[in-house]
Amino acid sequence: MESNSTIKTELAVIGAGPAGYVAAIRAAQLKHKVVLIEEDKLGGICLNSGCIPSKALIYASDFLDKIKNSSNMGIKVGKASIDFKKMQQWKDNIVLKLNKGIDTLCKANKITIIKGTASFKSSNKLKIINNNNISYVDFKKAIIATGSKPIELPNLKFNSKKIISSTETLSLNKIPDNFVVIGGGYIGLELGTVYAKLGSNVSVVQMTDQILPGFDKSIVAILHKNLEKMNVDIYLNSKADKFENNKVIISSKEKGKIELDADKVLVAAGRFPNTKNLGLENTKVKLDNTGFVKVDNNLMTNDKNIYAIGDVSIGPMLAHKASYQGKLVAEIIAGNKQSYENVIVPAIIFTDLEVAIVGLTEQQAKNKNIEVKTGKFPFLASSRAMTRDETQGFVKIIADEKNNKILGVQIVGSEASDLISEAALAIKMGTTLQDLALTIHPHPTLSESLMEAAEATMGKAIHILNPKL
């Protein structure tokens, strides 16, 4: 059923995830008339079936693990039981509250929210389909913020029952006895850790010679060891061939054919930008050879009326990058001179141990012909880490040998996800080792480890021996 209803607006935003709704709110704050189009729920994948629900389950499973392993602090408990249904309800309530919060904020900023699937009819017009109803939006500028979806493997197609994506993994009604994860990236390792702590027998199958491909080997080594302590079986240089009779058949470079029992198989082989059926052929928007929307440093596509942000655009597929781009593109459309250049984007993995990185690795700096110095402070030497009984991990700093500017920071250990923001600010502000070392950090805190690592990089550490002296 076609409708003749047409809404006219200054800005149309397609997708209400962390890129889209943030762009819409900031644009509304800048006095633009905004229409926000979403086919599913406000908040996108991140809020509804990604970042937020996964972190809730990670926290719950970690809390359970701490209870089980608290006897060395003199805390004795009986056998802890799990009400998984209640755990899922707790997680869902968090998502619902945040979802309602976004709806309230959009309405308070006088943003028109349209439910439906959008496609371009031209460089100034969108067609919106909601069930059998069709409407149109005429716009001056549009933002594509449609996010991404899990990559499906040809030999392991999603079926929502046995072979599942991260979305279904977060909404299981039963803890699987045997849980096989295809892919040793951050999504697979985070969710594998959850179910390992909840009692599943977890196996991780990774094609390359290490989990977290591209990460510093010192980070990978400590995380790999910790996963094995949780009885997670890790198969490197291995490929999943097929799934049959509740078993995943894998080919291992070292061990040949192996059968893994599997009640559930999580395929976490990466994500792909959502650009299909957007009607881009009716505009001047172009895709690159990997399927991402081509944009310039102003996040503008090849069509001067259309911008692209978040997972469909340049940069890592991270919610905080998407939100940053959302605010940035709203300012650009409003005429403020800004650009997406020299952006510092931290990355976090909520495994046990947590991993957080920002800036250049030692190897990346060397590839740029930068002479570097490095320093490392272990949490084993941190008084606060000791009082938390969480002494695994370290803070590592990479700095320019010539001027002591901090180029990169890597943190492995408890609360790495919160500690990394200070490091990101340090790099963004062009901070030197001296600046960080001379900043008084409260004691006893984990944040002192950043100060100590800066001192260690200069050979002036107080609480560890200095090999450089």
* Lowest mean pLDDT across 71-85, 361-375, 426-440: 71-85
User: What pLDDT was estimated at residue 3?
Assistant: 60
User: What pLDDT was estimated at residue 80?
Assistant: 87
User: What superfamily would CATH give domain 353-457?
Assistant: FAD/NAD-linked reductase, C-terminal dimerisation domain (3.30.390.30)
Q: Is the peptide bond before 444 cis (omega within 30 degrees of 0)?
A: yes
**pLDDT tens digits for 452-462?**
999 999 999 99
User: What pLDDT was estimated at residue 236?
Assistant: 98
Q: Select from 334, 346, 332, 312 the least CA-distant residue to 18.
A: 312
| Residue predicted with more confidence, 271 or 467 | 271
User: What pLDDT was estimated at residue 469?
Assistant: 45
Please compute the mean of the pLDDT values over residues 327-338 and round it to a whole number. Answer: 96
- The CATH architecture assigned to 163-268 reads 3-Layer(bba) Sandwich (3.50)
- Examine domains 2-150+272-333 and 163-268 and report if their fold is the same: yes
Q: Select from 268, 260, 211, 209 the least CA-distant residue to 237.
A: 209
Run of H or E residues at 52:
helix 51-68
Average pLDDT, the chain: 96
Q: Is the peptide bond before 170 cis (omega within 30 degrees of 0)?
A: no
Q: Is the pLDDT of residue 61 over 90?
A: yes
First CA to last CA across the chain, in angstroms? Answer: 79
The token pair at 75 is 């805390």
2-150+272-333: CATH class? alpha beta
Please compute the mean of the pLDDT values over residues 378-390 and round it to a whole number. Answer: 97
Question: What's the pTM value of the predicted model, to 2 decimals?
Answer: 0.95
Which residues are catalytic, by number? 443
Alpha-carbon gap, residue 426 to 436, rounded angstroms: 8
CB atoms within 10 A of CB 328: 22
Residues 6+ apart with CB under 8 A from 342: none
Where along the chain do its domains lie? Answer: 2-150+272-333, 163-268, 353-457
The pLDDT confidence band at residue 327, using thresholds 50, 70 and 90, is very high
**b/e map of 237-265 (b: 16 or more CB within 10 Å)?**
ebbbeebeeebbbbeeeeeeebebebbbb
